[in-house]
Chains A and B, each alone.
Chain A
């Protein structure tokens, strides 16, 4: 508890008291900078009805540096690689201290709705998405049913 910036405490309170739809984030009791996150796959996407687990860590420099976020659930998505790393600009060079945990998680949820195969992280998935989107979405759906329960 000691040394935890007020901003983090406030964000945590807000996340618990008034969570964004389809998103939960719970801090670990022994490390309040480490969150267990779940994101519900957005309706109308191949990830619908899936429940994806992620981990989120707030580094010492937060909010001057972005949080570190990673998918723990396997997912077939052109911007998420097999280690769960996410290719999203606001998690890297487009980070701004005015952003917060809530907006980051909403952005990730939006990334599930609109994959961006032109800026891929998982190149094979991106290729699949570009060559045969229908078939790639079918695989995404399969993986969702298989892993994101």
Chain B
């Protein structure tokens, strides 16, 4: 079976608690109960249970209760970003392969007693490392390792700022954003997006979440598609730069999923957020898997019948005797 070759990282990569107390439990505790991955953009519900932002948004859109304890009437509005948990997960992600390596080393050092063990361990942990390294280098490390050469931290608010800017920043009482170039570039866009979202009533909601800065993008509002015409849904999609092809059902699904993905991306720390382009690619892949796999439409019925008639007859014939027995 080929899935056996692609060993995915899981808590059981770590030895039992008798040999390495807490490690397996730690890895397990930092995993989302819905996707079983290390938390990505963790958020908490009122009951205190945490999930990946995207997982819980998806789950709540099907059923408004906590998946773990079933406490009811949870909606996306009640989701709170769990920043400290996110920090813990990012740190553990960085430490994980290192810890596994240390365990492996310790094992091979004491392998005189159990010679067959170490090779097995190595087999288990190697793909894990590869996985983590790829993920890390593409997501977490570049933003951290590439501040401008003259970068320093503001002593008051701890935000990175260039040395040239730091005095002005301090004098003006630590405004949150210390990247003037960024602000200038996006201000007109901001203006626009405010106008746009103002039209759809949710700006107030978004403001509550956007914590510290003006150019923090606000989450997209949920839309009640039933009240909209196809044309209006297409407008919503093109506002987001998304394709407007397909039937009404697909349009709705595309926008719905986009809102979930977009908003959950905002729940992540700025440095680990995905780019819009990548997010759109993810959306396309998701739709291919979920929406498109709905029944294919048969256009030429007669040709279809000719093509599959024999197979259909054979299938009915083979099913009949079974049904009688």
Name A's B-contacting residues (CB within 8 A).
1, 3-7, 9-14, 17-18, 27, 29, 32, 60-61, 63-65, 94, 96-98
Q: Across the interface, do A96 and B290 meet the contact criterion of CB distance under 8 Å?
A: no
Does B293 interact with chain A (Cβ within 8 Å)? yes
Q: Across the interface, do A98 and B2 meet the contact criterion of CB distance under 8 Å?
A: no
The A/B interface has a contact count, at CB < 8 Å, of 58
Distance (whole angstroms) from the CB of B72 to the closest CB of chain A: 12
Q: Mark B10-45, 1 if CB is under 8 A from A, else 0.
A: 101000000000000000000001111100000000
Q: Across the interface, do A3 and B10 meet the contact criterion of CB distance under 8 Å?
A: no
Does B67 interact with chain A (Cβ within 8 Å)? yes
| Binding site secondary structure of chain A | loop
Distance (whole angstroms) from the CB of B281 to the closest CB of chain A: 16
| Binding site secondary structure of chain B | loop
Contacts of B37 in A (CB 8 A): 6-7
Q: Across the interface, do A13 and B8 meet the contact criterion of CB distance under 8 Å?
A: yes
Among B8, B63, B290, point to the contact of A10 (Cβ < 8 A): B8
Interface stretch of the complex, out of B54-62, B149-157, B191-199, B244-252: B54-62
Distance (whole angstroms) from the CB of B43 to the closest CB of chain A: 15
Q: Across the interface, do B3 and A32 meet the contact criterion of CB distance under 8 Å?
A: yes
Q: Across the interface, do A13 and B10 meet the contact criterion of CB distance under 8 Å?
A: yes
Does B189 interact with chain A (Cβ within 8 Å)? no
Name B's A-contacting residues (CB within 8 A).
1-4, 6-8, 10, 12, 33-37, 55, 58-59, 62-63, 65, 67-68, 70, 289-290, 293
How far apart are the CA atoms of A17 and B8 in the complex, in Å? 13
Contacts of B10 in A (CB 8 A): 10, 13-14
When C-beta atoms are compared, the residue in chain A nearest to B290 turns out to be: A60
Contacts of A11 in B (CB 8 A): 36
Contacts of A9 in B (CB 8 A): 3, 6, 8
Knowing A13-B10, A96-B67, A98-B34, the reply to whether A1 touches B293 (Cβ < 8 A) is no
